[in-house]
Amino acid sequence: MAILFLPSPRFHDIWLFSLHDLPPQYNKPAMSDSPTSPVFVLNGPNLNQLGTRQPEIYGTQTLAEIEAMVSAQASKLGLTVDFRQTNHEGVLIDWIQEARHKACGIILNAASLTHTSVGLFDAIVAAEKPLFEVHLSNPYAREAFRHKSYVSAVAKGVICGLGPQGYLHALDALARHLNEKK
Ligand code: DQA
């Protein structure tokens, strides 16, 4: 099953199950989203093992192959990407902080940290950048502990269950968002 969520005013009404009524400042637009800055495409723990890790869930494409797809799509859209992966929560938080000054927007697959990290939530709020959340699988069709996302509450949109294509949809959505803001 695939779920594609794009920015919609109703998004938070429907999907904020555990992080209820966030004040509006948590979803305010970014301050300086110059499309001349790269899109930060950030990947969390264990995504370096794509290709061999549970291929029945995550597919057979490696992260390097996904990076190549994302870079090709970005150049079609007139964007550049800075594509990274880490297994460490603090490093991911450092990169989100860096994005505040260096990126036009963020595409984030925080992997397992999605479901656990208040630090990530706080960093995303502080970064004030448009952020699209991506998951290769559909966490809502999996174990209950994957049904909570600390990222969704502060994301412009959430794309899950579409495999690597989800990254491309996120890039399209971010490009559209940046163009609307021009
Ligand atoms: C994931 C889903 C997460 O629940 C999981 O912990 C991951 C990958 C995905 O892309 O489907 O590591 O983010």
Ligand 1: which residue has its CA nearest to atom 1? 111
Please state, rounded to an integer, the average pLDDT across all residues of the chain.
Answer: 87
Query: Into how many domains does the chain fold?
Result: 1
Note the pLDDT of residue 4. 53
**pTM reported for the whole predicted model:** 0.84
Structure tokens at 51: 């290709």
Q: With respect to residue 4, please indicate whether it lies within any of the assigned structural domains.
A: no
Q: What percent of the chain has pLDDT over 70?
A: 81
Low-confidence ranges of the chain (pLDDT < 70): 1-35
Distance between Cα 135 and ligand 1 center (Å): 6
Distance between Cα 109 and ligand 1 center (Å): 7
Q: With respect to residue 19, please indicate whether it lies within any of the assigned structural domains.
A: no
Q: With respect to residue 152, please indicate whether it lies within any of the assigned structural domains.
A: yes
Q: 114 with 150: CB under 8 angstroms?
A: yes
Residue type, 161: G
Q: With respect to residue 21, please indicate whether it lies within any of the assigned structural domains.
A: no
Using CB distances shorter than 6 Å, the residues near ligand 1 are 46, 109, 111-112, 114, 135-137, 139, 146
Q: Quote the distance between the C-alpha of residue 180 and its chain's center.
A: 19
Query: What domain range includes position 154?
Result: 34-181
Q: With respect to residue 52, please indicate whether it lies within any of the assigned structural domains.
A: yes
Summarised one tens digit per residue, pLDDT across range 5-26 is 444 433 333 333 333 334 444 4
Q: With respect to residue 10, please indicate whether it lies within any of the assigned structural domains.
A: no
What is the chain's length?
182
Q: With respect to residue 71, please indicate whether it lies within any of the assigned structural domains.
A: yes
The CATH number linked to 82 is 3.40.50.9100
Q: With respect to residue 164, please indicate whether it lies within any of the assigned structural domains.
A: yes
The residue among 42, 31, 14 whose CA lies nearest residue 170 is: 42
Summarised one tens digit per residue, pLDDT across range 19-52 is 333 444 444 444 445 558 999 999 999 999 999 9
Note the pLDDT of residue 76. 96
R_g over Cα of the chain: 15
Half-sphere exposure of 133 (CA within 13 A, CB side): 28
